[in-house]
Amino acid sequence: MDELKYDPVSHDHKAFLKKAQRREGFSKAYNDLEEEYTLVREMLSARSNRVLKNKNQAVRQGNFGDVLKYLNNLNDSPVCDI
């Protein structure tokens, strides 16, 4: 387990949905979860915006060391894409 390393892969969500919608019941289940998907998208967007605001504020204040430390810590957080 110590040798496991985060290795992101590309994901084409539109292609995934197109293929998945061929499965019986998928479209209904996906549509039934629309509110949850919307909430998750909004939360991820807010988190990304917060990260950018924090980074920009630190740059304006001249805290470059803090910016580098902050950005380095983001490497462990694959959810956010700067």
Sign of CA dihedral 21, 25, 31, 34: negative
In a domain, 45, yes or no: yes
Number of domains in the chain: 1
In a domain, 73, yes or no: yes
Confidence of residue 1 (pLDDT cuts 50, 70, 90): low
**pLDDT of amino acid 54:** 72
Residue 50 in this model has a pLDDT that exceeds 70: yes
| Alpha-carbon distances, residue 79 vs 25, 27, 43 (angstroms) | 29, 26, 11
In a domain, 82, yes or no: yes
Confidence of residue 31 (pLDDT cuts 50, 70, 90): very high
| Angstrom distance (rounded) from CA 46 to CA 51 | 9
Residue 79 in this model has a pLDDT that exceeds 50: no
Task: Name the residue range of residue 67's domain.
Answer: 27-82
